[in-house]
Amino acid sequence: MIVFNTLTRKKGELIPINDNLVKMYSCGPTVYSRAHMGNMRAYIFMDTLRRVIKFNGYNLLGVMNITDVGHLTSDADEGEDKMEKAAKKTGKSPWEIAEHFTDLFLKDIARLNIERPEVIAKATDHIPEMLSFVEGLVEKGYGYETSDGIYFDIAKFPSYGKLSGNSHLDDNIAGARVDVNTEKHTPADFALWKKAPKEHIMQWDSPWGRSYPGWHIECSAMGRKYLGDTFDIHTGGVDHIPIHHENEIAQSEALLGHPAVNYWMHVEFMQVDGKKMSKSLGNTYTLDELEEKGYSPMSFRYFCLNTHYRKKLNFTFEGMESAKIAYSRLKALVDESKASSQQADEKIISEFKENFLNAVNDYLNIPLGLGHLWMLLKNPPAKNIYEAVIWADKVLGLSLDKDESSELTIPEEVKAIAEERLAARKEKNWAKSDELRNKLSELGYMVKDSKDGYELEKK
């Protein structure tokens, strides 16, 4: 299995520390709001990697964190705590916000066939582990105290910046922002621990008074707790390379005296009009919004799988439409083979299996794997073709064995409006009927009236 390592900038064989167990850590969501489809691209990548690892016969121990404290509005530790900000805005407690969005996140990933990692670790459940990590760093001279927290001194860690190639040592403090923290030794020094102002709801006792963890420390501390001092793979989005993951590397290596992670793997952005899909740019979509427009979770998954994870993926509704059509065609072809009692030549099957395995093992070339699948399905339908598809679907996770295509499902909301319109027509209330037709149209549906009822079609 060939993988690309961001740290070495090279492709190479994945060689796990333990013969048949791969240990992997994935940066998870900050649960202050609903995860969007850009985030979901990152978790579909994580899931695909997990599936390919298992496909190769390895056991897997995967950890994903849930950030429910300490992630400030800028990844570089400036601004407010995202959880507290959301709490203030809604009048709920940060704990309630965290529970609500964690729950939604776990439901969303299940709808996208993203398997839950073996361990889901919440930051607030690991305060003692984080605190002792920071105390260790301070004892070793890597952490220093300022009036608002404990900071990591990047100048004491000479290889700082090795993941991104930017050491940040020359960053100009005056050129940065108005509210720069001038007590820092170097502008890019980052917060290990933050002293809590009175109004900060989430706070704990520490040697430095009431306080709360910085964002980066949770991943170092929880990764170590569940996966040990050195583990195989760490994943995240490319936005984490220059700050969050540099900081994780610095914290862990400074404390342990050796690298904690062997392979760093990062997924490229999902973009909208050339810009990262992100909450701050206001260009996000959620899974519910896609479904309302008639796109199922599986067509989104197909949309993602069709582009290599290291390429930028532009989100467009034309792209979603093509993915939706392709997925339902694929599904229809698979169903034909499922229903068939014929057998294809075994050579066709074994060639497909070899090609598919080679593709996914060549640093997760899933688009090529899908290409081989389409080629296989060009053959006349056959039972053993169906069996081979289901074998490949262990990697793809596209529910190709499910009977009914969820693509054909019309959202409940749309159905309800159509029924209401039918009732209005029966009552000859044409004004209301027209009004409801417009409403359906706004939701992306055309309604065709027939003698006894209607048919709905996606526009």
Q: Which residues bind Zn ion (CB under 5 A)?
A: 27, 219
What residue has token string 């569940």? 226
Distance from chain centroid for Cα 198: 34
Of the two residues 42 and 366, which places its CB atom closer to ligand AMP in the complex? Answer: 42
Q: How far is the CB of 59 from Zn ion (least distance, A)?
A: 23
Determine which helix (DSSP H) or strand (DSSP E) holds 323, and give its type and residue range. helix 317-339
Q: Rule CB under 6 A: which residues touch ligand AMP?
A: 27, 29-30, 38-39, 41-42, 236-237, 239-240, 267, 269-270, 276-278
Six token digits for residue 51: 């599936």
Q: Which does 29 bind (CB under 5 to 8 A by kind): Zn ion, ligand AMP, none?
A: ligand AMP
- Decide whether 276 or 458 has the Cβ nearer to Zn ion: 276
Identity of the residue, 222 or 357, whose beta carbon is nearer to Zn ion in the bound complex:
222
Q: Kindly tell me which of 14 and 270 has the beta carbon lying closer to ligand AMP.
A: 270
Report the partner that residue 270 touches, choosing among Zn ion, ligand AMP, none (CB closer than 5 to 8 A by kind): ligand AMP
Q: Provide, rounded to whole angstroms, the least separation between the CB of residue 165 and ligand AMP.
A: 18
Q: Choose from Zn ion, ligand AMP, none: what does 181 bind? Cβ within 5-8 Å by kind.
A: none
Provide the H-helix boundaries in 94-183.
Answer: 94-111, 127-139
> What does the alpha-carbon distance between residue 83 and residue 61 come to, in Å, rounded to a whole number?
29
Question: Can you name the residues that pair with 67 across neighbouring β-strands?
Answer: 30
Cβ proximity to Zn ion: between 27 and 287 the closer is 27
Dist. CA 252–CA 232, nearest whole Å: 14
Q: Which does 38 bind (CB under 5 to 8 A by kind): Zn ion, ligand AMP, none?
A: ligand AMP
Contact between 116 and 105 (Cβ < 8 Å) = no
Least distance in angstroms from the C-beta of 245 to ligand AMP: 10
Please identify which residue in the block is written with the tokens 């990152």. Answer: 42
Asked whether 330 and 377 are in contact (CB, 8 A), the reply is yes
360 binds, among ligand AMP, Zn ion, none (CB under 5 to 8 A by kind): none
C-alpha span between 413 and 221 (Å, rounded): 45
Q: Which is nearer to ligand AMP, 105 or 356 (CB)?
A: 105
CB 34 within 8 A of CB 104: yes
CB of 248 to Zn ion, least distance (A): 6
Nearer residue to ligand AMP within complex by CB, 30 or 220: 30
8: number of Cβ within 10 Å: 12
Q: Token pair of 343, please?
A: 């057998």
Give me the amino acid identity at 72. Answer: L
In the list Zn ion, ligand AMP, none, the entry touching 277 (Cβ below 5 to 8 angstroms by class) is: ligand AMP
In angstroms, the CA 25 to CA 63 distance is 5
Which of Zn ion, ligand AMP, none lies near 239, with the C-beta cut-off 5 to 8 A by kind?
ligand AMP
Find out whether 313 and 41 touch, Cβ atoms under 8 Å.
Answer: yes
Task: Single out the residue of 264, 330, 276 nearest to residue 303, CA to CA.
Answer: 330
Q: Output the smallest distance, CB 27 to ligand AMP, in A.
A: 5
- Residue number with the shortest CB distance to ligand AMP? 237
Shortest separation between residue 266's beta carbon and Zn ion, angstroms:
12
Q: Which of 200, 245 has the CB closer to ligand AMP?
A: 245
| Shortest reach from residue 29's CB to ligand AMP, in Å | 4
**Partner in contact with 219, chosen from ligand AMP, Zn ion, none, beta carbon below 5 to 8 Å by kind:** Zn ion
Report CA 10 to chain centroid distance, whole Å: 23
Q: How far is the CB of 97 from ligand AMP (least distance, A)?
A: 13
Among Zn ion, ligand AMP, none, partner that 42 touches (CB below 5 to 8 angstroms by kind)? ligand AMP
For residues 445 and 459, the answer to whether their CB atoms sit within 8 Å is: yes
Q: Is the dihedral of CA 194, 199, 202, 206 positive or negative?
A: positive
Q: Which is nearer to Zn ion, 26 or 296 (CB)?
A: 26
CB of 177 to Zn ion, least distance (A): 23
Measured N-to-C along each axis, helices 82-90 and 94-111 cross at an angle, to the nearest 10 degrees, of: 100
